Structure 1
Amino acid sequence: MSSTPPSRSVPPPLSVPPVSGGLTAAASLRQLLDSLSREQRRNQELLASLAFALRSFTNLNRFLELVPVVAARIVEADGALLVVFHPDGRLWRDHLQATPGERSAELLRRLLAYPDSQLQTQAGEEAAVALLDPLIQSLLGSPAVFATSVVGRGGPRGRLYVFSDRRGYSWSDIHRRHLQLVADLCGVSLENDLLRLDMQRHERLDRQMSIGAEIQAQLLPDRCPVIEGVELAARCRPAFQVGGDYYDFIPVRPDLIGRRRERGQWALVIGDVMGKGVPAGLLMTLLRGMLRAEVLSGLPPDRILRDLNRMAQEDLAHSHRFVTLFYSDFDPRRRRLRYANAAHNPPLLWRRQQGRIERLDASGLLIGLQSEADYGAAEVTLDPGDVLLYYTDGVTEAPGFSGERFDEERLLRAFHEACRSGLGAQGVLDQLFARLDRFVGPDHQLEDDASMVVLKVREEVMLPPLPPS
């Protein structure tokens, strides 16, 4: 078997019948040139037909059926065989093709009988050639068997064989180039099919991601609740369709309605699963259900985080992920905020009377880090005009044009400016996101989910003192 033209003795000159004059010799030469021209046009038409099929067929197997037929005709061989590999090197039995005929059918049957352990190719084209060529030669038993590789971007994708039993069959360099053209078109078809399958797989993933994003968006509050004496505003901007950020407003007494519900105690929560995408979103959805059930117990924030850590320990250990979570409950009648922190970014509290910012923090480990963990607790009383900002690390770690991070110092300055301007909760939130967007730039994507929640205590109406009687 050969993949290149073998060395052959110089063929004898064409025999021309004896002629009686120059006119007959010229006619014979013209006949020979016409024959060569017809053969060239035929080969061009065969290659053009195969190229048209490559553009037109969406069924890979229909195209591959043509490859051995065209290959055999273009080199005037008795038959041809196409052997195709899976991307992982296994023999792709569904796409084995040969020219019609009982001999080719028997060849395919015998080739299909070989187990994968014997036919699986090793890395590289040379290994495929060394494995398959002797096998095909022995199965065919033809004196003249020639082959070339079908190559894709990822390496060898198959072998194309032509064979002939005719005596005097000659293999030329033109034959080799024509056979390689057919093999190259076959390689393009295989690569196109892989790209098509990848595109379909990505489309399915995109649909699943869209469904996941829709479900997660429904789990986040679609609007902030009405709580007496405060304004609320919140927004989550995921880096991907599905993110790991979470915030929630949970009534401690969900059975209350109307004004009693507005005056009742509320849990305000913000958290972040380490990681991005679908796994983080699924874990945060799981924790949301656990946390909502735990809030109904009415326990203080430190006990709730301790119980949540115990319940989520097994699930988080299997996923090798952890969760940061800041949990607080707010009593509107006393304007009292109790809180506990599981290693989340401490919220920022702007004190209107003093014109300064405080951090609300308490000791505590990540959720899921260890089963027995204690969490500190603290509380603070909010005054009229005070503004509280909850946020995730996607805000402070957002990259800018120069590669710098937005960092906490920029957030502090932006938050201070927004609070001093006297904006409401929604205005403060909008101004902070606008400042973040300017820093990141319109053509850049966030690397992590960014979430912020703003709570502002309404300012009381201060009546002027009455003049002395």
Structure 2
Amino acid sequence: MLPASSLAAMSSSSPVIALKEMVSRLQRETSKIQELLASLSFALRSFNNLNQFFELIPLISCRVTEAEAAALVLFRADGQARLEQLHCHASDQCPNIRAALETATRTLANSVGIMTTDPHGDRPRLEHVLDQQLQDRLPAGIQFYGTTILVKDTNLSERGRLYVFSQQPTYEWTETRQQLLQVIADQTAVAIANDEMALKLRDRQRLDRELEIGAEIQRRLLPRHCPKIQGLDLAAACRTASWVGGDYYDFIPITYGLADSQDISQGRWGIAIGDVMGKGVPAGLIMTMTRGMLRAEALNGHRPSRILQHLNRAMKADLESSHRFVTLFYSEYNPQTRVLAFSNAAHLPPLLWRAETGTVQRLDTYGMLIGLDERTQYQQVEVRLQPGDTVVFYTDGITEADNPKGDRFEEARLAAVLERACAKGLDAQALLDYIFAAVIDFIGVEGRISDDMTLIVMRVMD
């Protein structure tokens, strides 16, 4: 036998050894938990596939809370739920837990719908309904605990529920375990939010690419440069407020009745400017449709008023269904006679500066918007131009441009700018630049271009 002194020494040292072992065990448990949470954080930073990240959630939840099973349930926007992942660790109740979860999630939407039909009740939280459904379906002896996955978007929204299960009678849902499960739920919420932001970014990039392609197509449909028309100096430009605009202008060679040996610049030319109500892709599509139909009509040799009438009848149904309309000014210039014949479908009338008198007049006729009323009749007027005369075609982005005070550029100011520019003897391109500069100066550095701006300058040379 050991001496009494040795027994006394051993007896006195046992609590110390037990305490050291307890501290060592706690350190190992803490280290294990830290490693698991670190692994989860690494996965959050590294995984591009959200499903791969979801596979880790129940596994780590089991380990850090010492539960026998854990499940991740996600909510959908329509109030339904889906069992995303289930992990069972040494539990013979796994089939029963899975069956209870699948049944509870499947009936969640109906339960929420029934409960919200009560006019005297408030809309129940999805987590409370799901917990009750799960409680009713789990076998006796299985306890479960859960925490909600909340994602911050416009506000805090429930995106799912994270559960742990245990059938051990001595299992306690301690504050530490609650905190650990909440940490995992928060990491899951971050992963969901990151995935949604990445999806929105990809959608935005795809949309930007589509808009870029649409803008490129539209740029190609607009004239790349002004044609050479006998006796005319031309300049034109379109500045869109967004990727794709609704403004339209065109120069159409009318070869109908032109001799094969005759230079195309000596023949008649259609000059058009239009504006589709609205901006963006829908307006751009309608503009493209208008361009194709207008060219087809012009090449058939119809006079301007008849062309607008045909367009109005042909486009009425499509424009009405899209709740958009088109303003269009179409003119035909004959270089041999210097006669400009025109018809207007409610577009802003071009301004004609007469070199002989130094005055400005409007070129306008009666006519309704394209697509408003198929019975509309369009008038046609002819004006003979003289050397030095200048015609400016424009869209409402010019006259409706506003400055920070709320004042608009308006037609009167455009006419005054035109008079000053023409008095300087500027050519067509310099005159166009002069007008655009005046509009930009009026808007100011704090202003912005809120609508497409299109200009055509036609100057009759001496």
The answer to whether the superposition gives a TM-score over 0.5 is yes
Moved more, 290-299 or 320-329: 290-299
Is the contact between residue 82 and residue 106 of structure 2 (CA under 8 Å) also seen in structure 1? no
1:89 aligns with 79
Answer whether contact 1:398 1:406 (CA < 8 A) is retained. yes
- 1:224 paired residue number: 226
Q: CA 1:115/1:374 → structure 2, altered by over 3 Å: closer, same or farther?
A: farther
Worse-superposed segment, 293-302 or 212-221? 293-302
Q: Which residue of 2 aligns with 1:131?
A: 129
Give, in whole Å, the separation in 2 of the partners of 1:172 and 1:327.
81
Any unmatched runs of 5+ in structure 2? 1-7, 117-121
Residues 209, 103 of structure 1: alpha-carbon distance in 2 compared, 3 angstrom cutoff:
farther
Q: 1:51 aligns with which of 41, 51, 56?
A: 41
Show the counterpart of 1:28: 18
Q: 1:310 to 1:417 in 2, by over 3 A?
A: same
Equivalent AA in structure 1 for residue 354 of structure 2: R
For residues 241-252 of structure 1, the aligned pairs below 5 Å read 241-252=243-254
Question: Are the structure 2 counterparts of residues 143 and 289 from structure 1 closer, same or farther at C-alpha, using a change threshold of 3 Å?
Answer: same
**Equivalent position amino acid for 1:144 in 2:** Q
Aligned-residue offset at 1:382: 1.2
Q: Deviations over 1:162-190 (max 9, x none)?
A: 01111211111111111111001101111
The answer to whether the Cα contact below 8 Å between 2:81 and 2:105 also exists between their aligned partners in 1 is no
The answer to whether residue 438 in structure 2 is matched with residue 439 in structure 1 is no
CA 1:353/1:283 → structure 2, altered by over 3 Å: closer, same or farther?
same
* Partner Cα distance (2:355, 2:304) in 1: 26
Structure 1, unaligned runs of 5 or more: 1-17, 460-469
Share of identical aligned residues, percent? 44
Distance of 1:237 and 1:99 partners within structure 2: 63
User: Which shifted more, 19-28 or 420-429?
Assistant: 19-28
Structure 1 counterpart of 2:428, from 406, 425, 428:
425
Q: Could you say if the C-alpha distance between residues 364 and 237 of structure 1 is closer, same or farther in structure 2, counting changes exceeding 3 Å?
A: same
| SS at structure 2 position matched to 1:371 | coil
> What TM-score, normalized by structure 1, do the two folds share?
0.87
Of the three residues 337, 342, 347, the one matched with 2:345 is 342
| Distance (Å, rounded) in 2 between the aligned partners of 1:219 and 1:213 | 10
Task: Confirm or deny: 8 A CA contact 1:84 1:96 kept in the other structure.
Answer: no
Match of 1:38 in 2: 28
Q: 1:68-102 deviations in whole A, cap 9, x for unaligned?
A: 11111111111101001234433245x34434677
Tell whether the 8 Å contact from 2:100 to 2:138 is kept in structure 1 after alignment.
Answer: no
The answer to whether structure 1 residue 80 and structure 2 residue 70 are counterparts is yes
**Matched residues, number:** 441
| Distance in 1 (alpha carbons) for counterparts of 2:249 and 2:392 | 12
Q: Does 1:98 align with 2:87?
A: yes
Q: Which amino acid aligns with 2:151?
A: G
Post-superposition shift, 1:374? 1.1
> Contact 1:64/1:97 (CA < 8 Å) preserved in 2?
no
Q: CA deviation at 1:161?
A: 0.4
Question: Which residue identity lines up with residue 269 of structure 1 in the other structure?
Answer: A
Q: What do you get for the CA RMSD once the two structures are aligned?
A: 2.5
Q: Which residue of 2 aligns with 1:214?
A: 216
SS at match of 1:430: helix
Q: 2:197 aligns with which of 195, 198, 201?
A: 195
**1: CA distance, partners of 2:262 / 2:445:** 43
> In the superposition, relative to structure 1, how do residues 119 and 99 fare at CA in structure 2: closer, same or farther (>3 Å)?
farther
Amino acid paired to 1:98: H
Looking at structure 1, the residues matched to 270 and 92 of structure 2 have their Cα atoms a distance apart, in angstroms, of: 79
Q: Structure 1 374/387 Cα, relative in aligned 2: closer, same or farther at 3 Å?
A: same
Q: Which residue of structure 2 aligns with residue 306 of structure 1?
A: 309
Alignment partners' CA distance in 1, 2:323 and 2:105: 40
Equivalent residues of 1:251, 1:267 under 8 A apart: yes
Aligned residue for 1:15? none
Distance in 2 between residues matched to 1:231 and 1:391, nearest whole Å: 17
State the 1:443 CA deviation. 6.6
Which moves more between the two structures, 216-225 or 34-43? 34-43
1:152 correspondence with 2:155: no
Equivalent-residue separation in structure 2 for 1:67 and 1:115 (angstroms): 18
CA distance 1:37–1:111, change in 2 (3 Å):
closer
- Aligned partner of residue 55 in structure 1, secondary structure: helix
3-state SS of 1:194 partner? helix
Deviations 1:180-217 (A, max 9, x none): 11001101111111111111112221221111111111
Alignment deviations for residues 294-336 of structure 1 (CA, whole Å, 9 cap, x no partner): 1123232222111110111111111111110111111111111
Deviates more, 1:266-275 or 1:349-358: 349-358
Q: Distance in 1 between matches of 2:398 and 2:329?
A: 16
Distance of 1:359 and 1:393 partners within structure 2: 15
SS at match of 2:235: strand
> What is residue 165 of structure 2 aligned with on the other side?
163
Task: Return the alpha-carbon distance in structure 2 between the equivalents of residues 102 and 456 of structure 1.
Answer: 91
Deviations along 1:433-458, one digit per CA (max 9) or x if unpaired, are: 22222333457542211111110111
Q: Deviations over 1:334-363 (max 9, x none)?
A: 111111111111111111221121111111
Which runs of at least 4 in structure 1 moved beyond 6 Å after TM superposition? 122-125
- Return the alpha-carbon distance in structure 2 between the equivalents of residues 443 and 35 of structure 1: 67
Report if aligned partners of 1:119, 1:131 keep a CA contact under 8 Å in 2: no
Structure-2 change in CA distance of 1:399 and 1:371 (3 Å): same
Greater Cα shift, 96-105 or 38-47? 96-105
Q: Distance in 2 between matches of 1:256 and 1:98?
A: 85
Aligned residue for 1:354? 357
Alignment counterpart, residue 282 of structure 1, candidates 265, 280, 285: 285
Moved more, 272-281 or 200-209: 200-209
User: Partner of 2:263: helix, strand, or coil?
Assistant: helix
Question: Which residue pairs with 1:464 in the alignment?
Answer: none
In structure 2, the partner of 1:458 is: 461
For 2:242, the equivalent position in structure 1 comes to 240
